[in-house]
Structure 1
Amino acid sequence: MNKTVFHGALLSALLFAGASSAVAQAGIPLRGPDYFRDAAELAATLGSAHAIRMRCNGREDQYWRRYMADMLAYEAPDRGNLRSALVEGFNNAYSRTSAQYLTCDNRAVEAEARFARAGQEISGRMATHYFPKETRKRGPN
């Protein structure tokens, strides 16, 4: 798995998501049911990856949690239902995955790689679907 590619796609999705208000003003609907499903799925994926990373590297490793913090900063900077739902999804996935992977073994490492690939797919889908190429080129006005 190429983590650099995943991180680039995730950061791109998060950065484009930061321009969501400008894009919404341009008349492109962004936050329909598909958007909420993808955002919730990405939050849960990050929570699962974070659980395994902490299991393997210790509590100091906040690698995936930082991605979640970035996502919240861009997608749900203010308190509200969206932010609460994303945090809850992250935390629930973290708890489930922590209970499932009690040791850092090959199975856990492979699972983190699967979560990273899934996160890359979700973030790529979000960037492509919610922020079409022509909108990304223009950027905020």
Structure 2
Amino acid sequence: MLRKRVLVPALAALLLTAPAALTAHAQEREPADRQRLLDLAYALGQSHALRQACEGAADQFWRARMMRLIDVEQSDAAFTDKLRDRFNGGFAASQAGHPEGCSPESRRAERQAAQRGRALASKLSQTVVTNDPEQASPDSVADGRAAR
């Protein structure tokens, strides 16, 4: 249980701070980084579905972070649609894969999705082309609840 308490907040912190410092937008990224963004969107969708299974449909913790990622990336409409599709795909896959709702298996899957997301976010934060503190802004989507 302690490992989960450390992993999810660490991923949340990385998703909150790394994008705020980035000025390399999706259209300026290398193809490998664009793919990482798509994979991250999928992991966020998985995390969203799995968290909602235990916290309820009103919980928007990971969806809010996805919206923040889209805002920060400022990508063209086509890539933004791809990001949304990947998020929705991850959400649907996790819902279908865990119809039992909140269970030890769904919590384990949530930790795995968080680990993948953390690795992707970490890799993306290492490939930043430009860092402009003028564009960095505090996370305005935090709802005051800490990650589990």
Q: TM-score, normalised by structure 1?
A: 0.81
Match of residue 81 from structure 1: 78
Whether 2:102 is the aligned partner of 1:91: answer no
1:67 matched residue in structure 2: 65
In the TM superposition, what are the counterparts of 1:1-141 in structure 2 within 5 Å? Answer: 1=4, 2=6, 3-17=8-22, 19-20=23-24, 30-76=28-74, 80-103=77-100, 104-131=102-129, 135-136=130-131, 139=133
Total equivalences in the alignment: 129
Instruction: Point out where structure 1 has 5 or more consecutive residues left out of the alignment.
Output: 22-28
What is the deviation of 1:15? 1.0
- Equivalent residue letter for 1:7: A
Structure 2's unaligned 5+ residue stretches are 136-148
Structure 2 letter corresponding to 1:84: D
After superposition, the C-alpha distances for 1:84-108 in whole angstroms (9 at most, x for unaligned) are 0000000011111100001211010
How far apart are the structure 1 equivalents of 2:15 and 2:70? 13
TM-score by length of 2: 0.78
Q: Is the radius of gyration larger for structure 1 or structure 2?
A: 1
Give the fraction of aligned pairs with identical amino acids, expressed as a percent. 23
